[in-house]
Structure 1
């Protein structure tokens, strides 16, 4: 029953009329469903009573709740007034329940029986009701969230009701599957999905429920704060199991014949059993909720007019017809020959004809003989379908056994099956066919269809930039659009309809983004379809104008004939032109592909020739112009040169060209001496390994000298002055809080580093200009030769970094 109630509540909350409604209206809809009678959809209640369920006052109910419920369209409201004109109560007509019952389908609302509605009402009372103590009537205790009132009470109460419905027998709430957003727990995501709100709102709701003790963490020492537990659900099931086990233990004890059983008090007696005891003349005590008795051992002693022994199941080898009681004095003293009965009997006054076609009655006062079989006696009652003791294979009067149809859509027994809920991750996508989904009887079919829907959803994500919500909305719109095209013809087979019509994309033009004339990415009309429709409309208009201009005085019938012939000729001409254009495009495409292949062949031959070239430095054959060892050595030389420039730029006097050259030669020798001292293990030896180690050492030397230069320049007066100025500007007009001071210090560090980098670039620029001035212009080769020489060097990451540093200078 928990799954049936959960499906009904989810159906109400997923109603399109409540899509944009607040939690107050949604909770009111659930309360109206719980208080609805089994025969109609009218709920008559008082504003004070409804305010107690919602956690608000009478004024808020009359001025806020009732207008919002009426504006949402989920219910109509009118006030019940007395003869003086004063409002006595509010009369709500719950439209979703009315529509579901009128449709006579497989909607979870239409499947709710009187027992289900009573159970839902008691369940909501245990969670929401404020508690009542009427005079001369049983007291109704306050619910779990009766103390939660005021602002946000509707959200907390609705969340608690959904969590309680989702809880298992041990009180654990089924957590939401899938990947979690960063920074949120699975419990917060679960509450957000149940309420259909943002995770930020769900975090606050969960905090309030935890503070009230309505929910708790399930084994935090093992799972942490990720799994929720509803203690009230676990305690309720624990009490039920304890009561059932105690009753079983008491029944197993041997009764003492000398011990008198004390009579039950009025508070301990069940009201329904007391009412049945008053109606029964003989005081027959029965057990069970489905009007079925567990044993007939005591019946013959109290009811002499009933059939004796014919309710006992015989062996499988016995005859289909019971000859009666052996040793009877006369036929009138017992029942006549009839079929063997199972050990379950109906207590209806009309007899046991409603149980699988068994005739007769076991009720006292109905005479000695059984009633005759009537029409329709082989049909099951809904309240008796769940009894486990029905014998579906015992034939009646030699007939074939009754074979009940398989549970599913359209069968009689399918009307009493539990509704099947839509998968949680597909609630929004399958909302248009949620009612039809409940009719799927096979679990394998449901899994197969869910997999197909997820695959189509994954394909749509590629069109909308991996936006899951947008893809779900587009697919739901497609299914709703295809379902509306059915018109009055219903969907007989949901699986076949989804695979053939509901899920496939229907492109009406040449665009792969088109779906029924609507673009998937923007949900706007497809421009390609509009263009194609415009071309066809223009063709028809031109043909009509041409025919009208050529034949102005033709009758309407002849004009239509001429127009059709002219239109067909124009269409054939356009089709021939389109065919010629496609053939011409195909030929051009073949030519383009041939040119591309030829270009690829030229590039491949050029690469092969380049790969066969020897190394320019060491002469190794097939080295593509430069072998790996020489490449590493050139990179090492570039790194060493840059490290020398940084060291010289900070120490040399650029106006003294002789001193500049001497200092440069000295630093260059020292740096190369340090780099060439690199040791390589013998097992990993070789020229290439040696060159690689030297390059890595040169890279570290460059990084260290660059960092030291920036640190020295950052300590200069100019850098300190800039940092102090930036820090002072950051703290202007702000409180001297710790975070503000930290932010100002970070800004000052950034300013100091920027000044140091700028100064280093200026020093390097001065160095390069001094070297260029020292070299005679006639000694330099022309730029054509210099560019050809530089273009042959490989552009690596280190040389690119050096180029960037040089550009800053």
Structure 2
């Protein structure tokens, strides 16, 4: 359990959305994971409760922690408001948990069960819980780090939680391996590795935890300050071992000699972990979210509960109370009861060998043909004793203690009866046909049918979701309906009936959610089927009204025949109309696909014609309008022009068009000479290779000039002023620590880069406008010139007709 929870926490911290996040945000994500229900990723809590878990004030949580959680993207936080509009709670949704459960993979987050989440919640309560005493529920004591509040409390609490999760049963924390930095010990390096920070930042955290007695040095006389242990974890395991030793265990002789004790009145007395009958599921946390019950909520007088059952024995907490002593003694359930072994072991049993199920050669008993662990012992059961007498199954055969017990019919294998029962996970779904399952004659047939039923359940879950037992209930209702339709006719072959009638969905309308006129998702009547039924009833009413109006004097005995004839004619007419409509729709679809094929053919012809076009630059035949060499040369020219513009924009005075033109020509000649000269020196003879090399070199030149221009602009006055302003605003209201200064410097560097990009973009725009202004524009012709041109044009018939019409008007 410890490794599973620790893996989940590290998986959560490995999410990219937590990169660079603060310790309050990381601790909040861990707390939301611990509080998350097993079937959802939503956690609703109050701001004061979250403040108690983090060790901060309510104002700091609302104005700093919650906005940082939203900004990081690790979780969404929606305020829950009352009728008056006041925020009374916060609704968190942990996105990594939601995504992991949606993918249904092997992520540690998706593998967390309800038991795991409940255990993680109790563990966090024992370490960080602020403590509360509700009116109608047992009080929850404060964790042993509950008094750590104020600045840096989230960092200390997160470090303590990770140390407690990493600790072994003896309380010792695995130390970080590798070479240590100069001037630090291994304990500081371990805390730094857990928090993901530097050793300098981890050193004060470790000092505070030592002062709070959350951690201690492990054998300082031998290891000095290089080993850590968590005293709370060590003491909890010691109490668990002491309680398990105090519980009496009956010996094998007593178990075989004494009669079996009477079963208690409660049917659920036992433990699912150890194999005894019954379950201890009631001892798990019985709720989801922030108000979960715990082990202490189980009354002492419940028989069969795990742990010591005597009222005078005080149950010990799994983790000791707070170190401050002000939160009261932690009340918790005792350790899990150590049950005695079910069967006593002998020298020839599986317990005396290394991972073998039994011995047929090495033991003292002469059982070479059969595997008979404890078969001839005094306390062996009647079935095993019968096997030892030679009436049991041979090796590889399966044994059934009774011929009609459990679900299903007996199947004979090798002279012995083996029951074929309904699988445990399908008992709810197959409850209507459970009595028919007895007719199966082969276990393989039952396994094949069970696989088919599971596939149908998977399909139903795609409609109804993964709620507990919803798909199973829907399938059981379907099977019951199909059985009711059988009436007095018996089901002769269950397998054939399930495959053909029982399992297939019967859509009564167009909806995929309709099954025999019933909605799969809601279980109510299908509205589409109701609509169809209403249409048919309306048609019958219309026909009845028409018959009554057209034949008012028809006798009562003949009216039904006239009505049925009119209804048949109406239905046939509608059927004919529907056939015509479908034929026209089919014709339109055929025409549509024919148009698509025609367009494809036209595009193919256009592609062939385009491929046959010669190159526009060099005239090469069948070059699709542009050969590879000319295409590369055009790309190279565009890159060189951009490189020239970057160099000219930074150096030239855009107010002097003549200077801009001269500088552009000079930089262009130098750039082309460099590109062509460097490529020519390589000795490439192939024109395509040479053109590609020129383009690659032009790309590098453009990138180099852009980087140099940005470096110069980063050191400019506007960039420096913006960086100083951002640095000052970042440090405003914060303590001048190294971490805050580093954060301010990063923000200032981003501001410098942003200003440099804006300046370069502005310079390039000024250069483009200056070049556009330097190009002389053609003067538009005057009206007198345009009229002379129009007077020389001959008049056509349309112009004469229009002029004549205008004259008449």
Query: Which TM-score bucket, shorter chain as reference?
Result: 0.3 to 0.5
TM-score (norm 1): 0.45
Task: Look at both structures and tell me which one has the larger radius of gyration over its CA atoms.
Answer: 1
